[in-house]
């Protein structure tokens, strides 16, 4: 499962051959959630509200790069790293 970004203690990664809809996995401390690439909405799991807000903002800023990364892992290619939220 490739890590594609990390910021403010939040780790963002993708799974090889994951199911749709396109999403990222975000981890923060003991919290984990799957967050949709198209809308930044939690599909499964839970993150603290402030952390979810940062993840949703990051997803919105990098949506096109995330689509490319999602396609890459679907082809078993290593996705490019994506800049962190600053």
Give tens-digit pLDDT for 7-60.
999 999 999 888 889 999 999 999 999 999 999 999 999 999 999 999 999 999
The alpha carbon dihedral of 34, 40, 43, 44 has a sign of positive
């Amino acid at each position: 499962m490739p890590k594609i970004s990390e910021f403010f203690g939040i780790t963002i990664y993708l799974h090889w051959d994951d199911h749709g809809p396109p999403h990222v996995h975000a981890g923060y401390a003991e919290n984990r959630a799957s967050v949709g690439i198209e809308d930044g909405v939690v599909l499964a799991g839970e993150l603290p509200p402030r952390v979810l807000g940062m993840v949703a903002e990051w997803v919105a800023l990098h949506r096109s790069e995330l689509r490319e990364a999602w396609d890459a892992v679907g082809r078993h290619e290593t996705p490019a790293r994506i800049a962190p939220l600053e």
